[in-house]
Amino acid sequence: MLAEYGKRVFLLAEEAVAAVQQVSGLATGRLPVGGSTTVGTYLLPALLARYRERHPAIECDIFVGNGEAVQEQLLGGGTGLALISEHAVREDVRAGRLAVLPVEPAPRPRPVSLVHRRDRLLSPAERAFLALPRELRHWPGELPAPETAGTDG
């Protein structure tokens, strides 16, 4: 029980540091983001281009692979955020290992989630990336319908 409270205290401390950094702006930082093959081809490039326009000093580390590989990178700490098809992460979300970050409007015609590891806080660079899709009225680029795209999501 005390270990759980200790984790919460450290998470709150990290969140406080992140909040101070966010208020002071994103002068430097790193954005490790992943995308499954289809998402990494059709959505992620345009989102990252917009992100770089707003935050040119942030180093973007991008990983694109099949759903399983992106999920492994995310769970292993290689990426902080991932845009990935909902079906690829369903079990890890149910098990509490991953958390879905709400993004509206949702990309169509394929359900895609923006996810991160539940046991870590978002960095200021990741929070800034999260703000981008929330500000969009529509997603940049179009996802192909499931029957015309690969099965890796």
φ/ψ region of 69 (left if φ > 0, alpha if ψ in -120 to 50, else beta) reads alpha
Per-residue pLDDT of the chain in tens (153 residues, 90 and over written 9)? 767 767 777 667 777 666 555 544 567 888 999 999 988 888 888 889 889 998 998 999 999 999 899 999 999 999 999 988 888 888 999 999 999 887 666 656 567 788 999 998 988 999 888 888 767 655 655 555 555 444 455
pTM of the model: 0.69
Give the C-alpha separation, 146 to 51, whole Å. Answer: 27
Domains and CATH numbers, the chain: 30-135 (3.40.190.10)
Q: What's the pLDDT score for residue 151? A: 47
